[in-house]
Structure 1
């Protein structure tokens, strides 16, 4: 079988597959930047210039911290607090820039040339450090937007062809799953969704495959379904699990609940789009028609990160007849599109009561007591904006009779590292709840 993940074997290695978060690359970049700064600073310029340089660096550092605070906590364009690591990179960047600018005048030409080169090095180091902190762009390919996935039918045909060739040659096929794009139309909802993503484990593409559990996974906002596999590395996590369990892992379907990267219809039915209907009627109908999955609610999980996490607890708690398990990774306490006033106006036609009823805590209370629903809640310990809400939701779920697990990811914030931690901890629980290791009868049909 053939994986869509980058093949980095010696014969097929591409510079596009260089890891942007690998320690050796980052250490080399940081080292070169520090050396450039030292060349600029370590020169016989006298006490006065030294005092000015130190003062400028302190002013630059303070400006960086204030700028990060303003962007994160005042302007708040993403609805997410910047992590301490990202804030410190802003401090280091502006401190470095200030030191360089204050040492350009009165220097030999070769020192000025090095100083000019130090400026982009500072910017590049800060960008790389922030990216490593967030985990958004793991490789050059992803950063350039070149990690295009093929349609699932085409990918499956290639994988099966490779498997046949390997079988004929008497070789062993690698135990990796298959990732591809599909179109899930909004037949009932009318929602104009972008292409969805599907992961099929090795057991789903073999001869006479058994029916497997399914996870409906939702990305954050802004974002797209492919983020789950590019930034989130979900296929790697599932492949590792499958390798340890005879090729078995859940089928994962990642539909588009946004419509566009900047949209946020909040997974409700409104003038912004009938997303509730899309995710609870159109998507399940497509899955049943095209994928060989177990049909009972106990085998279905809804999961999501950030805005997708909010959707997962909303829809999972409201539809226990459809989903038996929920994985909420750093979701919000309430659906949100800007301010509360804007949320009520845009998503609930001005009906404050309808908005209140759509809060996951209200949904849990309205459907309590649950008898078979399970929920896993995860947030990073460096995510002060979302962690308290996740704790609140976990308490509400447990109080409503939901089989509840709460995990706090050490050393991560509202980022893809938390998603990695969440899936690694949640996958064995999901496997146990969905009966993954005792399949009853996976793959693509039709």
Structure 2
């Protein structure tokens, strides 16, 4: 049984974004395609010209059909709510083309070549799926396809006592003079249960990143800044860390900052992949807003070496989670001083406007309108807040949303940085670019770093004029 368990763990940990598995899938497609092409060309059977030319023609037509279908779904009917991006549409076209090529050979070939064509059909679909996933950066491993991850459960209740905490400035001073020793090289990520004491929201387990400074062999730990990070929908806390590359990003930052980096909490605002709670309290999916703003925030401040002031807290997210980060951040300036949304919607979206008002807000139009980010910004005008808002360059809808939201925030007196991630679309690659810059800005604002970051140091980001 142990052997089977290890085998399963190995299988679940196979990477979909790099390494041998994607390379092998692409190699099989290439080898089988060339084999079928050469076999048809050198065949001594009658009709070898037809057997050579027809599959190529079918591939060309199939590829065009695939691209047109993807384009219609993405940019015309907007079935997914956002554009798929050119890379994804190219992978769809490639998958259609190779599958068409292979199916033509199944019809025309015999014996082992027919078997090879059947295998190619399967691998064409597999390779296209891997390519699409790599374009999004959504599923890092085979296990993540099934909602599995390798993070262990931990009980972090009472990890730090408030009276023992020192400031970040004190930590940096002690680290500089050699008073603090034995700082771990890396932080840790653990699953935790955050009790839904006030909300009774049925949340999945959260994930928490603790930087090396929080784990150092020192009674006097620093009161660290906190980032509350929200996934897209469908999504999960595990997806935030796996697709977002959070641990690698934060560990890299900590290595050059005396073990200091923000605590990152990936909390569940959905309850299930299929739920879009709009991040509000409702009768539909429960009290998601109270869970995030009270249960999660209170638990972190009570149990972890976390700073208490709003200026030291950021809320960030991707897609639906980005919309939530704007809604919650601006409506709760007493809790969050910084917002880092990537690929945000222009407003909460789950059905038509009237359907949302009726289902989630008991018919109260004003309550719904207060959740629309630009309205929330105008209502609160929280001049002390920082907004770092971004989108993938090829996600034209989200770029348009940035250009709508950012000027309203700037006019309201907020500090605003609007950026686009070059070459990326509505995907986690864009999130990583924006979050990396947001981390640098947030780190400076919270005293982790004395240097104010320059956007020019982030070559994959460009400023969006607002």
TM-score, reference length from structure 1: 0.85
Flag structure 1 segments of 5+ consecutive residues without an equivalent: 1-12, 158-170, 439-446
- 2:254 matches 1:242: yes
Tell me how far 1:99 sits from its aligned partner. Answer: 1.6
Specify whether residues 266 and 15 from structure 1 end up closer, same or farther in structure 2 by C-alpha distance, changes over 3 A only: closer
CA contact (8 A) 2:183 2:212 kept: no
| Counterpart secondary structure, 1:428 | helix
User: In the alignment, what sits opposite 2:30?
Assistant: 34
Specify whether residues 51 and 281 from structure 1 end up closer, same or farther in structure 2 by C-alpha distance, changes over 3 A only: same
User: In the alignment, what sits opposite 2:421?
Assistant: 409
User: In the alignment, what sits opposite 1:292?
Assistant: 305
User: In the alignment, what sits opposite 1:329?
Assistant: 342
| Counterpart secondary structure, 2:227 | strand
Specify whether residues 205 and 156 from structure 1 end up closer, same or farther in structure 2 by C-alpha distance, changes over 3 A only: farther
2:190 is matched with which residue: 171, 180, 196? Answer: 180
Flag structure 2 segments of 5+ consecutive residues without an equivalent: 1-8, 42-46, 160-180, 451-466
| 1:365-387 CA distance string (max 9 Å, x none) | 1112x331111001100112212
Tell me how far 1:151 sits from its aligned partner. Answer: 2.0
| 1:7-39 CA distance string (max 9 Å, x none) | xxxxxx956544322277645532331221122
Deviates more, 1:62-71 or 1:321-330: 62-71
Return the alpha-carbon distance in structure 1 between the equivalents of residues 123 and 145 of structure 2. Answer: 18
User: In the alignment, what sits opposite 1:167?
Assistant: none
Specify whether residues 152 and 436 from structure 1 end up closer, same or farther in structure 2 by C-alpha distance, changes over 3 A only: farther
User: In the alignment, what sits opposite 2:214?
Assistant: 204
2:149 is matched with which residue: 141, 144, 147? Answer: 147
User: In the alignment, what sits opposite 1:352?
Assistant: 365
CA contact (8 A) 2:391 2:426 kept: yes
Specify whether residues 194 and 19 from structure 1 end up closer, same or farther in structure 2 by C-alpha distance, changes over 3 A only: closer
Return the alpha-carbon distance in structure 2 between the equivalents of residues 141 and 277 of structure 1. Answer: 31
Q: How does 1:208-227 map to 2 (within 5 A)?
A: 208=219, 209-227=221-239
* Alignment root-mean-square deviation, CA: 2.5
2:439 is matched with which residue: 427, 430, 434? Answer: 427
Return the alpha-carbon distance in structure 2 between the equivalents of residues 26 and 285 of structure 1. Answer: 43
Return the alpha-carbon distance in structure 2 between the equivalents of residues 254 and 285 of structure 1. Answer: 15
2:282 is matched with which residue: 270, 274, 280? Answer: 270
- 2:319 matches 1:306: yes
| Counterpart secondary structure, 1:327 | strand
Return the alpha-carbon distance in structure 1 between the equivalents of residues 296 and 148 of structure 2. Answer: 27
Return the alpha-carbon distance in structure 1 between the equivalents of residues 189 and 57 of structure 2. Answer: 53
Equivalenced residue count is: 412
| Counterpart secondary structure, 1:41 | helix
Return the alpha-carbon distance in structure 2 between the equivalents of residues 22 and 411 of structure 1. Answer: 19
Return the alpha-carbon distance in structure 2 between the equivalents of residues 108 and 260 of structure 1. Answer: 48
| Counterpart secondary structure, 2:383 | coil
User: In the alignment, what sits opposite 1:282?
Assistant: 295
- 2:170 matches 1:195: no
CA contact (8 A) 2:244 2:431 kept: yes
TM-score, reference length from structure 2: 0.82
Return the alpha-carbon distance in structure 2 between the equivalents of residues 211 and 174 of structure 1. Answer: 17
1:85 is matched with which residue: 74, 87, 90? Answer: 87
CA contact (8 A) 1:221 1:306 kept: yes
Tell me how far 1:315 sits from its aligned partner. Answer: 1.1
Deviates more, 1:21-30 or 1:417-426: 21-30
1:390 is matched with which residue: 392, 402, 412? Answer: 402
Specify whether residues 233 and 365 from structure 1 end up closer, same or farther in structure 2 by C-alpha distance, changes over 3 A only: same
User: In the alignment, what sits opposite 1:444?
Assistant: none
CA contact (8 A) 1:185 1:192 kept: no
| Counterpart secondary structure, 1:153 | coil
CA contact (8 A) 1:152 1:198 kept: no
CA contact (8 A) 2:74 2:82 kept: yes
Specify whether residues 420 and 56 from structure 1 end up closer, same or farther in structure 2 by C-alpha distance, changes over 3 A only: same
Deviates more, 1:134-143 or 1:229-238: 134-143
Specify whether residues 276 and 142 from structure 1 end up closer, same or farther in structure 2 by C-alpha distance, changes over 3 A only: closer
| Counterpart secondary structure, 1:248 | coil
CA contact (8 A) 2:149 2:238 kept: no
| 1:201-239 CA distance string (max 9 Å, x none) | 010112121111111111111111111111211011000
User: In the alignment, what sits opposite 1:134?
Assistant: 136
Specify whether residues 173 and 314 from structure 1 end up closer, same or farther in structure 2 by C-alpha distance, changes over 3 A only: closer
User: In the alignment, what sits opposite 2:162?
Assistant: none
User: In the alignment, what sits opposite 1:162?
Assistant: none
Tell me how far 1:246 sits from its aligned partner. Answer: 1.0
1:57 is matched with which residue: 41, 59, 73? Answer: 59
